Structures are given as C-alpha cells and as structure tokens.
Structure 1
C-alpha cells in the first residue's frame, strides 16, 4: 500500500522566495519507480555494507522563479533491501529500524539553499525511530524541465543528493563500533506535477 504524505503548504514557502510578484510554486509528486534512497556503512572498517529502500512517497513544492521550495518524503523502513535476506531481517528488527513499531522514516524540509541560481542543498529534519534530528542534503544536481520517453512528453523535476547521518543520534547503537556509526545516504529523486499523476 502506497504511503501517504502531506503536501507542503504554499504559505510555508512565502518567506523563502524573496517576495517575487506572481510567484507560482508547483506541487510535484514523487515517481516511486525512479526514486530510491541508498545507504552505506563501514563493516569492521574493512568493507562497506550497502542497501536501499524501495518504497518511497512524497511531495516537492518548487518555485523555479524564486528557487523557493520544500519537501515531505516518507520511506517504508520494511522495504530495506541489501540483497541478503538474513541481513534484511536483522535491519527490520528492533535492533535497527524496528519496522514493526516504526514503519516510516520521514524527511521534511522547508529551505532550498540556492547559490548563483543553482540549488546546492536542502535543509530540514529527519525523523527515525521517533527521534527527529536536523539534516542537510547536499545537491549533486537538480533541475526541472520537459522530457520525452517513448513519444510521451512530460514535465519532471529530479536530482541526486547526499548526506551523512549518525545512526546513534537516533538511538540505533547495535553492533557499534564494528558497524560504523556514520551512514552515508545517496538519494535519487524524480517527480512530476501533481495534477499529472493519477490518484
């Protein structure tokens, strides 16, 4: 069942857009087939454990005229996938993501950091295991425009982002320090205007 999220209120963005007259923020709905959260953590400081979350839902509000924006994403923690079923079971358990009691991780942000007309970061907060901490996503690239696929044209916003999260800050301390405390996140997101997405 697809997770639901709350679209960012346009009024929330009013103070971040520089007051441009006629600004028209657009709501974009995440395309789950082209959006993934990847993670990596060191294992005994020799190798790296990597995985992904396959079920993501969310909204992006973006005003290309001002660079103002906001996001509200939810991630189904039970959708964790490392390619190792035994490890996936451990990660879903109370030792790590506790998917039975904390089925959703949530990323919300109301500040797009723009420099020289280019999005360089998104600042907000991550909620995981009932704990909320600040999070800054560095933008590797981000753009909006029209694409054509199999002769179908559509508007799309998308980009790649990265961040580092300290898992112990969320109370996730199992197997420290053998399994690293710092977890690298790589987020690839693609979204379409909400009015073009079927309910």
Structure 2
C-alpha cells in the first residue's frame, strides 16, 4: 500500500486541469449551492523530513463560478469577496500531519487558522513520463469570520446564505 511517505522529495506542481478548489454553502437552509475557483496556483515542496514540507495556495477570487452569472457577480461584490480590493485569497500550511493539514487561510486581509482533513489517493506514473500524486481534503469555515458579511434572511427567518461554508479540495500534483 502506498503512503504519503512514498512521495519523492522535491517540488510538486499542481495539474490545474485535474484540480478543483470548491465550496458548498446552504441556500435558505434547504439546499446546497456549490461553487469553485478556476484560477489557482499551488506551491508544494516535499522535504526529506516531511514535517519540513511546505504547501501554499493562491486563489484568484474573481475566478469564482457557481453556474449562475448573477450569483457569481454577487460573490465578487463587496458583500462577499470584493475582488476589486482583494483579488486573492491564500492558504499557507503550518503543520502537515498524517491525515490533517493546518494552516493560515487569508480572505479579505483576515487570517485565521483552518484545519483540513485529507486523504492521500496515491501515486501513479503517467503516459508522458511524469509522476503524479492525488489528494482530497475537506474543511469548514465561518464566512463571517473572514468579512464575507452578506446577511439577508428570507421571510421565514432562514438565512439566505449559511454562515458555515464547506471547502473541498481535489488536488493532483506532478513531480517537477
């Protein structure tokens, strides 16, 4: 069985075509709205001593997509990401464990610690002579902690958008 310790030390580049940074919010407390960011860069350096490995993400906030142009425009506004003033959000790992990654998430110049549970999906050689590694990770934030402050309620009192946002990462890396 392949484990995280089988990943070769060195630089691993993200394969943007096989990576997704997604999120899920509740709409009116009755259904889910799913979205993703399409412009993401990742720096990953695997160290001999895994505790010294680094992982950093930069997300272009204007790349948010939810399959609804009006909602996407609202998410880009000052009610949410305010992409004109805050064009990026970042994550920098501070501790990479066997099944969790903790780090500093910064959205709208607000930095908070966030922990992601992750699963290592394995390593595979590809047909082009490369080596790939895959991961899935899940975490949760309170959007208001990061200044995503839109706060409308429906006539029955349910929040239009949940405060809790689930973050889902599907990541594929290629050994440099």
Task: Indicate the TM-score class for this superposition, using the shorter chain for normalisation.
Answer: 0.7 to 0.9
User: Structure 1: 5+ residue runs without aligned partners?
Assistant: 1-23, 115-119, 195-199
Task: Give the aligned partner of residue 192 of structure 1.
Answer: 174
Task: Give the aligned partner of residue 182 of structure 1.
Answer: 164
1:131 matched to 2:110? The reply is yes
1:155 matched to 2:131? The reply is yes
Task: Give the aligned partner of residue 37 of structure 1.
Answer: 21
Aligned to 1:33, the other structure's residue is in SS state helix
CA–CA distance in 2 between the matches of 1:53 and 1:121? 22
CA–CA distance in 2 between the matches of 1:41 and 1:110? 26
Per-residue deviation, 1:178: 2.7
Task: Give the aligned partner of residue 67 of structure 1.
Answer: 50
User: Structure 2: 5+ residue runs without aligned partners?
Assistant: 1-7, 153-158
CA–CA distance in 2 between the matches of 1:138 and 1:122? 7
TM-score, length-normalised on structure 2? 0.85
CA–CA distance in 1 between the matches of 2:76 and 2:57? 20
Q: Which moved more, 1:52-61 or 1:25-34?
A: 25-34
CA–CA distance in 2 between the matches of 1:60 and 1:103? 22
Task: Number of aligned residue pairs: give it.
Answer: 162
CA–CA distance in 2 between the matches of 1:171 and 1:126? 13
CA–CA distance in 1 between the matches of 2:129 and 2:13? 17
TM-score, length-normalised on structure 1? 0.76
CA shift in 2, pair 1:174/1:86, >3 Å = same
1:50 matched to 2:39? The reply is no
On the 8 A contact 1:106/1:126 being kept in 2, the answer is: yes
Aligned to 2:25, the other structure's residue is in SS state strand
CA–CA distance in 1 between the matches of 2:148 and 2:40? 21
Per-residue deviation, 1:142: 4.2
